[in-house]
C-alpha cells in the first residue's frame, strides 16, 4: 500500500519534471529592466512550493512560473516590494518566504548566533584571563623520563 503511494508520488514528480519548462523563460521578462531586476531580486527570496529546496527564480516547475508571473503582475500594477511579497504570502502562507520573518519565535532563530557569540566571548574571555593568571607549572619529570631525555639529547637529535 505504502509502496504504491510512494511509486505514484515518484511518478508524479517525474512527470512534473518532464513538463517542458525551465527557470525564467524569455517570454516572462518584463520590458522595463528596472522592474525586471526587482522581480528577479524578489523571486530569489520566494520558495517554489512544490520543489524541495529551490526559489521560484531557479525552479522549472509550472507553479514556480505561475508565481513568477503573478509577482510580475503585481509589480507592473505598481505594488511596492513589500506589498507584492505580502500579496503572495497572504495567498501561499509564510512557507513561501525563503528569508524567514523577524517576528515572534523567529527572533530566536535570528538571535541564536549573536547570542552564542556573546556567551562564547564571555566564556572564552574568562578562560583566557584565568590562563594568564595561572602559575607556570613545574616541569616535573620522573627519574625514568630524565634518563630517557638524557639518552635523546646525547643521540642523534634528528632521529
Partner 1 sequence: MITELGHFALVLALAVALIQATVPLIGAQRRNATWMAVAEPAAVLQVLLLGFAFAALTYAFVNSDFSLRLVVMNSHTDKPLIYKIAGVWGNHEGSLLLWTLILAVYGAAAALFGSNLPATLRARVLAVQGMIGVAFLLFMLLTSNPFLRMETPPFNGDDLNPLLQDLGLALHPPFLYMGYVGLSMAFSFAVAALIEGRVDAAWARWVRPWTLAAWVFLTIGIAMGSWWAYYELGWGGFWFWDPVENASFMPWLIAGALLHSAIVVEKREALKSWTILLAILAFGFSMVGTFIVRSGVITSVHAFANDPERGVFILMILAVFTGGALTLYAARAGALEAKGVFGLVSRESALVANNLLLAVSCFVVFVGTIWPLVAELVWGRKLSVGPPFFDAAFTPFMVALAMLLPFGSMLSWKRADAARTLRPLWPLAVLSVSLGALVWAMQTGRSAIGPVGVILGLWVAGGAVTDLWMRTGRGALAVRLGRLVRLPRADWGKATAHAGLGVTVFAVAAMNAWVVEDIRTVREGGSYPLGGYEVTLVDVREVEGPNYLSTMAELRVTRGGAEVATLFPEKRLYPAAGMPTTEAGIDYGLLRDVYLVLGDPQQAGGWAVRSYIKPFANWLWIGAGLMALGGLVSLSDRRYRVAAGSRRPVAVPAE
> Which positions lie near partner 1, rule CB under 8 A?
11, 14-15, 17-18, 20-27, 29, 44-45, 47, 51-55, 58, 93-101, 104-106, 109-110, 112-113, 116-117, 120-121, 124, 127-129, 131-132, 134-137, 139-141, 145
* End-to-end CA, the chain: 69
- State the cell numbers at 49: 512550493
* Smallest distance, partner 1 to C-beta of residue 110, A: 7
Residues 67 and 119: beta-carbon distance below 8 Å: no
- CB nearer to partner 1: give 78 or 159: 159
- CB nearer to partner 1: give 80 or 126: 126
* Smallest distance, partner 1 to C-beta of residue 14, A: 5
SS3 (DSSP) at 47: strand
* Smallest distance, partner 1 to C-beta of residue 88, A: 13
- CB nearer to partner 1: give 78 or 89: 89
Residues 6+ positions from 65 with CB-CB distance below 8 Å: 21, 25, 28, 56
d(CA 91, CA 77): 17
- CB nearer to partner 1: give 14 or 78: 14
Residues 54 and 94: beta-carbon distance below 8 Å: no
* Smallest distance, partner 1 to C-beta of residue 56, A: 11
* Smallest distance, partner 1 to C-beta of residue 62, A: 12
d(CA 107, CA 84): 23
Amino acid at each position: 500500500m505504502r509502496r504504491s503511494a510512494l511509486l505514484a508520488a515518484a511518478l508524479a514528480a517525474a512527470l512534473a519534471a518532464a513538463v517542458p519548462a525551465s527557470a525564467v523563460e524569455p517570454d516572462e521578462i518584463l520590458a522595463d529592466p528596472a522592474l525586471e531586476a526587482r522581480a528577479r531580486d524578489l523571486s530569489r527570496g520566494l520558495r517554489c512550493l512544490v520543489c524541495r529546496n529551490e526559489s521560484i527564480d531557479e525552479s522549472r516547475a509550472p507553479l514556480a512560473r505561475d508565481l513568477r508571473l503573478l509577482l510580475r503582475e503585481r509589480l507592473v500594477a505598481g505594488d511596492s516590494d513589500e506589498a507584492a511579497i505580502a500579496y503572495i504570502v497572504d495567498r501561499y502562507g509564510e512557507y513561501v518566504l525563503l528569508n524567514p520573518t523577524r517576528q515572534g519565535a523567529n527572533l530566536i532563530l535570528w538571535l541564536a548566533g549573536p547570542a552564542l557569540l556573546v556567551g562564547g566571548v564571555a566564556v572564552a574571555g574568562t578562560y583566557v584571563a584565568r590562563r594568564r593568571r595561572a602559575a607556570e607549572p613545574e616541569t616535573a619529570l620522573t627519574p625514568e623520563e630524565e634518563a630517557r631525555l638524557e639518552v635523546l639529547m646525547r643521540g642523534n637529535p634528528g632521529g
